[in-house]
Structure 1
Amino acid sequence: MISTRILPLTALLLTAAIFGFFYAWVCSTMWGLDRLPPARAIEAMQAMNASVRNAVFFPAFFLTPVALFALSLALALKRRKAPATWFGVSALVYLIGGFGVTALVNVPMNEALAEVDLANTAADVTAIWRDYSDQWQFWNQIRTVASGLAVIMAGLGLTGLTGLGRAA
Structure 2
Amino acid sequence: MIDGTLFALTLVTALGCGLIAGVFFAFSTSVMRTLGALPWKQGLTAMQKLNVLIINPVFLGVFVGTALLSAVVAVMTFVSWPDEGAWELLIGCLLYLAGCFGVTMVANVPRNDALDKLDPEAPESAEQWKTYVREWTAWNHVRGGAALAACAALVLALAA
TM-score, normalising length: structure 2: 0.89
Q: Does residue 140 of structure 1 match 2:152?
A: no
Quick one: percent identity of the two aligned structures? Answer: 30
Q: Name the Cα RMSD after superposition.
A: 1.7
Q: Deviations over 1:25-60 (max 9, x none)?
A: 111100110111000000000001011111101222
Q: Could you tell me which amino acid in structure 1 is paired with residue 52 of structure 2?
A: A
Any unmatched runs of 5+ in structure 1?
161-168
- Contact 1:73 / 1:84 at 8 angstroms: preserved in 2? no
2:73 counterpart residue number: 71
2:109 counterpart residue number: 107
Which of the pair has more CA radius of gyration? 1
Q: Distance in 1 between matches of 2:77 and 2:106?
A: 31
The more displaced of 46-55 and 6-15 is 6-15
- Contact 1:90 / 1:150 at 8 angstroms: preserved in 2? yes
Q: Distance in 2 between matches of 1:85 and 1:65?
A: 18
Alignment of 1:142-161 (within 5 A): 142-160=142-160
Alignment of 1:156-167 (within 5 A): 156-160=156-160
1:35 counterpart residue number: 37
TM-score, normalising length: structure 1: 0.85
Any unmatched runs of 5+ in structure 2?
none
Poorly superposed stretches of 4+, deviation over 3 Å: 72-79
Q: Could you tell me which amino acid in structure 2 is paired with residue 142 of structure 1?
A: V
- Contact 1:22 / 1:140 at 8 angstroms: preserved in 2? yes
- Contact 1:72 / 1:83 at 8 angstroms: preserved in 2? no
Q: Note the C-alpha offset of 1:7.
A: 1.7
1:49 counterpart residue number: 51
Q: Does residue 118 of structure 1 match 2:120?
A: yes
1:131 counterpart residue number: 131
Provide the aligned length of Structure 1 versus Structure 2. 157
